[in-house]
Amino acid sequence: MTLTLPSPAKLNLFLHINGRRRDGYHELQTLFQFLDYGDRLTFSLREDDRITLSPSIPEVPDEDNLIVRAARLLAGCSPSPLPGVQIDVHKVLPMGGGLGGGSSNAATTLLALNHLWQLRLPEDKLAELGLALGADVPVFVRGFAAFAEGVGEILTPVSPPEDWFVVLKPECNIHTGKIFSAQGLTRDTPRIKIAPAFEGDASRYRNDCEDVVCRLYPEVKKSLDWLSQFGPARLTGTGACIFGRFPTESAARNIWESRPSGITGFVAKGVNQSPLHQKLAELK
């Protein structure tokens, strides 16, 4: 049996860091929205019990890959032996881009294998397993745009406008740990309530990682400055990707076509239900 599913990107429409916990993790508030753009994973059950991945990611051993870790974590929830699985990845999301590619891959793996292995674990359990893999995994497991708090795992469904986005990927990879440990990082942004996140002056909301990332990575600042000519532009997550919001596809594509040479990225629509969950709904 074979199953192919999307593994979509996300944007942090804003990211406020409210404090630092004793365990070193940061308390934050952020607004997640999915994009109709991302990786694609194909899962094929094997006759043996091996979990295999193709292609491997250079410099990332398979046993450290979130896809393989998610599959093994889920397999450990079964009281009886399970068939193995071959996982083939069509990768378009950049590593270190702040688009949640690895977390999205992990969530797609949990949901796909819960279906293929007929484990019938509830979504709450899958989200719990996902949190053990990374703070962003639960939002991909849940599959709805969300106002997130805590370390990103406390999720409240929201419905931001499903606009179009130009997403730029500067030529650098950013390690999340490096940004969250930076001395100049703002960690005392006052908490907000959900409703104000959609009201009033959007310029009040920002990405608290942006100044640090721009200082450490001039390529990011260059892309941010260029896209900001056409309206508010912002870093997603800890970077490196920059996004600008536009009301129509034609407006977004016109900006995209005018980009300087050497800038990579894509145009995509924001969606409040994950493309992964749209596809899973078709299987029921």
Q: Which one, of 132, 220, 137, 209, lies nearest residue 178 by Cα? A: 209
Q: Name the pairing type of β-strands 51-54 and 85-90.
A: parallel
Is 10 annotated in the active site?
Answer: yes
What three-state secondary structure class fits 165? strand
Residue 66's contacts (CB-CB under 8 Å, 6 or more residues apart) are 102, 103, 105, 106, 109, 133, 134, 137
Identify the residue whose tokens are 């891959």.
105
Task: Supply the angle between the helices 101-116 and 123-133 in degrees, to the nearest 10.
Answer: 140
Nearest 5°: the CA angle 109, 278, 282 is 95
Q: Which one, of 18, 72, 37, 56, lies nearest residue 189 by Cα? A: 18
* H-run or E-run covering 133: helix 123-133
Is 136 annotated in the active site?
Answer: yes
Which position among 136, 169, 208, 221 bears the catalytic label?
136
Distance in angstroms (rounded) separating the CA atoms of residues 94 and 38: 10
Which residues are tagged catalytic? 10, 136
